[in-house]
Amino acid sequence: MWGPSPGALRRGITTFAGSVKALQLPKDIGDGHPGDGVVPTGLVPSLHAIPGVWPLVDGYSDLLGWLERTFTLRRALPGDRSDTPVNLVEFAYDWRLSCRYNAGRLAVRVDEALGRWRATAPHRADAQVRLVCHSMGGLVGRYWVECLGGADVTRQIITLGTPHRGSIGALESLVNGHRVGWRLLGADLTAFSRRLPSIHQLTPDYACLESPGGLRYPRELTTALDGVDPDLLTDACRFHEEIRAAARKRVEQGGSDRLCLPVVGVRQPTPTTAALDDGRLRLIESIEGKNEGGDGRVPRFAAYPAELALDDTATVRSSFANHGAIKGHPGVREDLYNWLAPAPAFYRGSLPAYPLSVRVPDYLSAGEPLRAQAEAATARQGADELSVRATVTAEDGTISASRTLRNLGGGRYDGILRGLAPGAYAVSLHAAGDEPATAVTALTLILEGDA
């Protein structure tokens, strides 16, 4: 896992090929733990990448701080005893392992924390859990809720950009392989990734592969998909079906079909299906001719839990946010507030901001220009006459570059930003007439060395 500093990134590339051997999982790990001494100690605080597993993701410190400031919540503090009762509880997990295994660890964590909290006061004796989950964490939470009895003590499970039906990017990583870095500094992480149960559990649980007979499920073409472990893929299908079947049964028995509240990314360019060309997957940003969009990683419809209809706008919240930055988007924070607060927030805005879809490269080497592209993803009048501003902000909060993009016509905008030093950056785009807080933000890393 890479942190944001240029030196750490350079060291990460040069050492990851060696250190990854210590993280390699046995072939038949299943839902177990390898006993290798690796222990998750906390949530990643800032921008990070998990090469071969998931793209750039912002950290969790800001979200935790916002929750603590906004609501009556308390985290464990340095120096607190391990049995100190708190009501804002972090759950870190080993992202290499099966979501079933991690759901079992979540069950233990909840039992301990909830039991301590309920014992602190008589009026807390019936306290329940609200889970706020991002990405793969939503699958871990869902399995605990639906399959391990978590629904009995859960009031809500909120998922932000969770691939409830998988992501084609995970399958592409397995089939095409994954190499990070450049030239002699590069590291081939393909063998490492192909052993991970978690990656297979992130693969699409919908028909996504083009064939002469129409779209096919990955499980129907395992012999044609080099790099995919057939047993792990078959088990991943069972994993998703277990969640669906348990959720249906719970609802049929009178449970709420609104227990899971998803925030779904929309309108960002998102790979949705793929064609198999000479043993490699070519990603396609549409399904049966329709561009569904998504958050850049998870297609819109794939972020819905099975028990919710795709036209359910009363339960689902849509966000013009990028997958890696969805936790910090102002609109998402407002959704979280409305779900978690005892009374809804008062909306002070006027017209909603012009929604933009953005394209920014994940990785660049020093000296390469950063190209930012935007498209006004709306039929609202004036979408092709905007002044779109791009702002590049460094990890320490300083603005490193800013410019107005060229109007290419038809609601499309484009611009080049230069002179950025190696490091981690947030690239935010918004129409000049809108508040900067409404910007769509993407993440990029610039590394030292030649590409």
Distance CA(134)–CA(43), nearest Å, equals: 11
Token pair for residue 199? Answer: 């990656």
**pLDDT by residue (tens digit) across 221-243?**
988 898 899 999 999 999 999 99
Q: Which of 445, 447, 439, 421 has the alpha carbon at shortest distance from 362?
A: 445
- Buried b / exposed e along 130-140 (16+ C-beta atoms within 10 A): ebbbbbbbbbb
Distance CA(203)–CA(209), nearest Å, equals: 12
Token pair for residue 233? Answer: 């893929």
**pLDDT by residue (tens digit) across 183-233?**
444 556 788 888 899 999 999 999 999 999 999 999 999 888 988 999 999
For residue 136, CA distances in Å to 95, 159, 347, 417 come to 8, 9, 31, 33
Name which of 264-278, 372-386, 393-407 the model is least confident about.
Answer: 372-386
Distance CA(310)–CA(270), nearest Å, equals: 17
- Domains parsed from the chain with CATH numbers: 8-340 (no CATH), 356-447 (2.60.40.1930)
Residue 290 bridge partners (DSSP)? 287
Confidence of residue 350 (pLDDT cuts 50, 70, 90): very low
For residue 94, CA distances in Å to 38, 43, 106, 137, 197 come to 8, 11, 11, 11, 11
Plot region of 78 (φ>0 → left; ψ -120 to 50 → alpha; else → beta): beta
Residue 12: the pLDDT is: 54
Distance CA(275)–CA(270), nearest Å, equals: 15
Distance CA(152)–CA(148), nearest Å, equals: 10
Mean pLDDT value across the chain: 87
Q: Which of 23, 165, 158 has the alpha carbon at shortest distance from 95?
A: 23
Q: Is 264 helix (H, G, I), strand (E, B) or coil?
A: strand
Rounded mean pLDDT of 357-379?
Answer: 88
- Provide the pairing of β-strand 370-376 with 260-265: unpaired
Distance CA(232)–CA(199), nearest Å, equals: 9
